[in-house]
Amino acid sequence: MNYKVIDPETYYRKGVYRHFTEDCKCSTSMTARIDVTELVNYSKAKGTKFYINFLYVLSKVLNSRDDYKMAYLWQTKELICYDVINPIQYVFHDDTETCTPVYSSYNEDYDVFYKNALDDVEKAKKTREYGLDAANHPNWFDASYISWLSYDSLNIELPDGYLYFLPIINWGKYREENGRLMMPITVRLNHAVADGYLIANVYKLLEKEIEEFVKSKDK
């Protein structure tokens, strides 16, 4: 785990950062649907899991900009940017109706990521422990699939004034709309390090990366 310390005085969002860490501590979230038709078709054609393929694309997108890799070290009151952030996926246990967090590591090599993420899931299926270990996984972001519902809105609440900067991403079932498969995705970021543009940009990057991913794998 490596990171660089950001000087708030030279940070390009200096004024916004000061306002939303001092005057108005809050987060912002947005829910929108993106077209995942081609990624679904690719996953079925290749016999791979759509869920993990999307998790790879999501992780790649969030690692593509420093804005999505920010964190706040409350111990030293430092604004930092991680070199890499990794996804926390979840395994749901039908018998207990509970879930287990799964700490998977991001790897830009798709084949490596896919194999390791799949192995992580299989290991988690063997336990019923919650297993949350945030202290030893500081640069992991929350990536939770709500598989039971194609929802229209979702809001994640954190305690007022809590400066948690890493992304929290949720997504639901895709559904057919006008012949295309559309999937709801919720992106939550702290307002100190992100605004509407940066959140909306996640959706644009996801659609672009899905297109490039499918094209590159079909060659």
Element (H, E) at 151: none
What pLDDT is attached to residue 189?
96
Local confidence pLDDT in tens for the 219 residues of the chain: 799 999 999 999 999 999 999 999 999 999 999 999 999 999 999 999 999 999 999 999 999 999 999 999 999 999 999 999 999 999 999 999 999 999 999 999 999 999 999 999 999 999 999 999 999 999 999 999 999 999 999 998 887 678 999 999 999 999 999 999 999 999 999 999 999 999 999 999 999 999 999 998 776
Fill in the DSSP letter of residue 149: -
Residue in the block written with tokens 């940066």: 198
What pLDDT is attached to residue 139?
98
In angstroms, rounded to a whole number, what is the distance separating the alpha carbons of residues 167 and 201?
13
What pLDDT is attached to residue 31?
97
What pLDDT is attached to residue 219?
64
CA-nearest of 90, 187, 97 to 144 is 90
Provide the β-strand partners of residue 5: 80
In angstroms, rounded to a whole number, what is the distance separating the alpha carbons of residues 78 and 26?
18
